[in-house]
Amino acid sequence: MLDISFIVTVFIIFFALAFDFINGFHDTANAVATAVSTKSLTPRRAILLASCMNFLGAMTFTGVAKTITQDIVDPFQLKNGAIVILAALIAAIFWNLLTWYYGLPSSSSHTLIGSIAGAAVAAAGFQSLHYSGFLKIVQALLVSPLFAFSIGFVIYSLLKVFFKKSNSSKTNQNFRAIQVFTTAFQSYTHGTNDAQKSMGIITMALIAGGYQQTTDIPFWVQLSCAVAMGLGTSVGGWRIIQTVGSKIIKIRPANGVAADLSSSIIIFTATLLHLPVSTTHVVSSSIMGVGSAHRIKSVNWSTAQQMLVTWLVTLPVSAAIASICYFFIDQLL
């Protein structure tokens, strides 16, 4: 007879890969929206490029995965750890699909972090959280959009000065060519950060189930998450591409390059620091910073306000949903 712990672990691996797949098409817009909007790339080519670069990025680093594994809760001591992780994944997937359906660029990172915390608290109380690690992660999630806005503002301001007297048509053509590379880099950085979150979740499950004794990320976990992320990206998230690519500002090639560069810098820096950040927050904030540098009135602040509300409610709502999921699964098993 199969052990219930083994069955739950298998379900966790399945849902973690599903989360990575959903994250891929949910966050595809973040990497390709500006390039599609400026017609630097066709949608099909942009998504193909993003898929390949996401996969490559996911295969390069594991530091963020280790942060997810050990800095929110202690996977070696967590009460009903497997059920906690399963409940967190179900809640995160539900919220991601709900926001994707309505075209809202919410944060997969906020969703996952909030869900893990909510399920852990439901299982063992607030003392189960590693507050130093948890607050460090939340701080990175909150501060990174501010840096992205600022860097986007500065980069585009510099571009305006350098290319002030350039021929407009030729300059746009040159920036469209450059944007192919900035889109590729942004997709790569997305893979280095976002795909690792599911790697951390699966590793937590292996530890909770007694199948692993360290927080090291197994190669098969890294590879499977990279494949899931790449496949999800290939599906694309057209609803969110429309929001990010056209409803914040009217994006021109120079805007797109500045936004891609600023968001890539923030995401890659966070990856090197082993910190999970929200690519949705970072990219959207970069675009807002670029738009503000171009002209304050060019930014659709009503869309920005709608995004902000979604961002603010994601973490607590995800935590609440995960708590409910935990109690339901715990009673069921």
**Residues 153-176 pLDDT 10s:** 999 999 988 887 776 778 888 888
Q: Which residue has the higher pLDDT, 94 or 235?
A: 94
Say what percent of the chain tops pLDDT 70.
91
How far is residue 110's CA from residue 311's CA, in Å, rounded to a whole number?
Answer: 8
Which pLDDT score is estimated for 322?
96
- Around Cβ 232, how many Cβ atoms within 10 Å? 25
How far is residue 58's CA from residue 60's CA, in Å, rounded to a whole number?
Answer: 6
So where are the chain's domains?
4-332
Counting every residue, how long is the chain? 333
Q: Is the pLDDT of residue 1 over 50?
A: no
Give the rounded distance of the alpha carbon of 326 from its chain centre: 24
Q: Is the pLDDT of residue 99 over 90?
A: no
HSE, CB side, 13 Å, CA atoms: give it for residue 261: 19
**What are 7-54's pLDDT values in tens digits?**
889 999 999 998 888 877 766 666 777 777 777 887 778 888 888 998
Q: Which residue has the higher pLDDT, 196 or 295?
A: 196
| DSSP 8-state secondary structure symbol assigned to residue 73 | B
Q: What is the DSSP string of 304-326?
A: HHHHHHHHHHHHHHHHHHHHHHH
Average confidence (pLDDT) over 317-324: 95
- pLDDT band, very low/low/confident/very high, at 2 (cuts 50, 70, 90): low
Share the mean pLDDT of the chain. 85
Which pLDDT score is estimated for 242?
52
Q: Is the pLDDT of residue 303 over 70?
A: no
Q: Which of 259, 194, 228 is nearest to 36 (CA)?
A: 259
Q: Is the pLDDT of residue 230 over 90?
A: no
Provide the residue type at 301 as one letter: W
Q: Could you report how far apart the first and last alpha carbons of the chain are, in Å?
A: 16
Which pLDDT score is estimated for 51?
86
Average confidence (pLDDT) over 281-303: 82
Say what percent of the chain tops pLDDT 90.
43
Q: Is the pLDDT of residue 245 over 60?
A: no
- pLDDT band, very low/low/confident/very high, at 246 (cuts 50, 70, 90): very low
